[in-house]
Amino acid sequence: MKDKQTYKKHKEHGEDISHENERIHTSSVNHLTTEDRGPADLSFVIDDYKKQLYEMQQYKSQCIQLENQLKGTKAIVEDFAKAIRQLKEHNYTQAKEIDRLNEYVQILEIEKKTN
């Protein structure tokens, strides 16, 4: 069994495939910190809180945006409801006028037959 990977193709010699010297960075801001910090390390806790704060700020921003969209949608729905109410009232008024005119036509027809 081999402990270290070996190169299989000629063009791979420019790449380090052993991954021995790689470091895992926790923050793109501080390139010197590594994951070898313990969970009680103050800088690790601060970085974790900064990440959580950023995520919460993003969530808050999304919530505010959604709330504004909902308020706008509510205003549109209220305007449509008001317009529908007005149209229903207008339709009711027009229906009453049609009934009145139909009665008048019937009266005129009766008068015409009697004359």
Per-residue pLDDT in tens (0 to 9) along the chain, 115 residues: 556 666 566 555 566 556 555 555 555 445 455 566 676 788 888 999 999 999 999 999 999 999 999 999 999 999 999 999 999 999 999 999 999 999 999 999 999 898 7
- Amino acid code (one letter) for 64: I
Q: What's the pTM?
A: 0.48
Phi/psi at 15 (5° precision): -100, 145
Q: Residues 78, 80, 83, CA angle at the centre, nearest 5°? A: 110
Q: In the chain, what are the domain boundaries?
A: 22-114
Give me the residue label for tokens 């139909």. Answer: 102
